[in-house]
Structure 1
Amino acid sequence: MTVLVLAGTREGREIAAGLAERAIPVLASIAGRTRRPLDPGVPLRTGGFGGADGFRDVLRDEGVTAVIDATHPFAEEITARTARICREEGLPHLLLRRPGWTPGPGDDWTFIAREADLARHAPPGATVFLATGPQRIDRFTGLEGRRVLCRRVDPAPEPFPFEGGDWVVGRPPFGLDDEKALFALLGVDLLVTKNSGGPEGRAKLDAARALRLPVVLLDRPPLPEGVEPVQTVAEALHWAEEL
């Protein structure tokens, strides 16, 4: 038995380590988008699969007998592809999705379905901080007249796509005081983020609450049809042990 863990999240790394502790053979896979990715401490492959055929090749060449998808909640394409191929190949497949964030007292949150909807909630002249990563920044359209800032992990190889805007380079984790100081220094008027959930990215939302900043959150993409996710590392490890 070899479990392939798509391990680009904290939960994915914890699952991989937990499988190794239980003497269950595991191969972790990460996309490798950042220059210094965190090592899960188990056999690791880095980089994309090269499409559906490449994914099937890895399943066959590595003797994979089960797959745990613990990718980011917004990794829509790879999640859909993984579910489809595992179904076609008859491989046991599990999806882990941490719970999303929910607003509490003092929060001023608006949820949107797609990036293009942001323009309706960003006042002219506002400084908009995109804590969404750079991968889909081109989908934020209609933001002329706003100062747009976008945070990324590594320095950008390309110029910023919006006039008058800029990249903000920083490597997580970010603490509450750091986020408050950054938003105040940059004069942020509106925080934009994905509804990723989890404790690691929570500080920016707590900082927005403390500074009384409105927040726009992108809704999660729909799950593949017929897939019922688990929400915790313990559930994923129990599933693997039961196999």
Structure 2
Amino acid sequence: MKLVLAGTSDARELCVKLKEAGHLLTATVVTESAKESLEQSGIPVRVGRLPVEGFVSLIKEIDAKCIIDASHPFAEEAHRTAMEAAKRVNIPYIRFERPGLVYDNHPLITIVNSYEEAARIAKERKGNIMLTTGSKTLEVFAKYLLDDPEINVCCRMLPRKDNMEKCEALGFPQKNIIAMQGPFIKELNVALYRQYRTTLMITKESGKVGAVDEKVTAAIELGIEVIIISRPQIEFGEVYTDFEGILARIESE
């Protein structure tokens, strides 16, 4: 039995491949929509964020022999929690990390290490800013950007009620909220940038599967500046960037 931290599209694909290869697995996800997608493929799913103790209890309950962490590259808390749980019960922790992207010092692109740094730079540059970093760190951008009359901020995020409530509570105008589920093709990104007269786009380096390349490519074609927040630096131990590597690893035992 394998315990898989899922929730993203590539994590779901990995779960399906594991099942097709004859492996027993249980997936954990944060949202009901992610649960539904996995259940349609006949994969057992648990929903909700778990503390270390919760992970340990689940590992013991299903008698998991390893943890495969295929959660989002920016799910730092989930990574650390899963690693600690695996350590406590002495089972392997295996990380599936979707490949990153390299942008070769393009003049329109600025790479930063934190949301705070991205917000500070955006405040200096002013203009029409499109946030595509999700709702989790909206407070950081609200703090730096919302009270500046020379800045107009548009937020693009998942169409969830809690996201809309958070935007309202922080003071983001309804007209500046794009509630859509991606990933988006380049042409749609171009249309949105034009619609909101975007002069600066902020994103996370989530990898090609996260459609970051389409966002960035569309912005560059329009001459829009881009700030990319790099991934958290975590020492995972065993890391694989393709499904074949994961399958070979678990089949070697």
TM-score of the pair, normalised by structure 1: 0.90
1:121 is matched with: 121
- 1:104 deviates by 5.0
SS of aligned partner of 1:102 = coil
| 1:162-177 pair list within 5 angstroms | 162=171, 166-177=176-187
* Residues 169 and 36 of structure 1, relative CA distance in 2, 3 Å threshold: farther
Report the Cα distance in structure 2 between the residues aligned to 1:14 and 1:80, rounded to whole angstroms: 23
Equivalent position to 1:214, from 222, 225, 233: 225
Specify every segment of 5 or more residues in structure 1 that has no aligned partner in the other structure, as ranges. Answer: none
* SS of residue paired to 1:27: strand
Please give the secondary structure, in 1, of the residue aligned with 2:239: coil
Counterpart Cα distance in 1 of 2:158 and 2:116: 23
2:187 and 2:218 in contact (8 A); partners too: yes
Determine the structure 2 residue equivalent to 1:133: 134
Counterpart residue number, 1:157: 165
More helix by share: 2
| 148-157 or 35-44: bigger deviation | 35-44
Which AA in structure 1 matches 2:42?
V
Distance verdict in 2 for CA 1:125–1:36, change over 3 Å:
farther
Distance 1:66 1:35 in 2: 22
The Cα shift of 1:59 comes to 0.7
Shift of residue 34, structure 1, vs aligned partner: 5.1
Find 1:142's aligned residue among 140, 144, 149.
144
- Stretches of structure 2 that go unaligned for 5 or more consecutive residues are none
Shift of 1:33: 6.5
> C-alpha displacement at 1:43, in angstroms?
2.3
Alignment pair present for 1:179 and 2:184: no
Question: Which position in structure 1 is the counterpart of 2:102?
Answer: 102
Say what the alpha-carbon RMSD is for the aligned residues. Answer: 2.2
Which of 180, 190, 202 is the matching residue for 1:192? 202
Q: Is the 8 A contact 1:28 1:42 kept in 2?
A: no
Which residue in 2 is equivalent to 1:60?
60
**Paired amino acid for 1:157:** E
- Distance in 2 of aligned mates of 1:118 and 1:98: 23
Letter in 2 for 1:149: C
Contact 1:4 1:26 in 2 (8 A): yes
What letter is aligned with 1:204?
K
Q: 2:202·2:228 contact (CA, 8 Å) conserved in 1?
A: yes
CA contact (8 A) 1:147 1:164 kept: no
CA separation of 1:109 and 1:6: change in aligned 2, threshold 3 A: same
Summarize deviations over 1:83-131 as a string: whole Å, max 9, x none.
1110221111101112222115866211111111124322454111111
Change (3 A) 1:163 1:66: closer
Take 1:178 and 1:168, find their aligned partners in 2: how far apart are those partners?
A: 12
- 2:204 counterpart of 1:204: no
The percentage of aligned residue pairs carrying the same residue is 24
Aligned to 1:76: 76
What letter corresponds to residue 144 of structure 2 in structure 1? G
Q: 1:79 to 1:188 in 2, by over 3 A?
A: same
Cα distance in 1 for residues equivalent to 2:16 and 2:195: 39
**3-state SS of the aligned residue for 2:73?**
coil
Q: 1:234 aligns with which of 244, 247, 250?
A: 244
**CA deviation vs aligned residue, 1:18-61 (integer Å, no higher than 9, x gap):** 11111111112211175886336132324224311111111111
When normalised by structure 2's length, the TM-score is: 0.87
Amino acid at match of 1:153: L
Q: Which moved more, 1:67-76 or 1:54-63?
A: 54-63
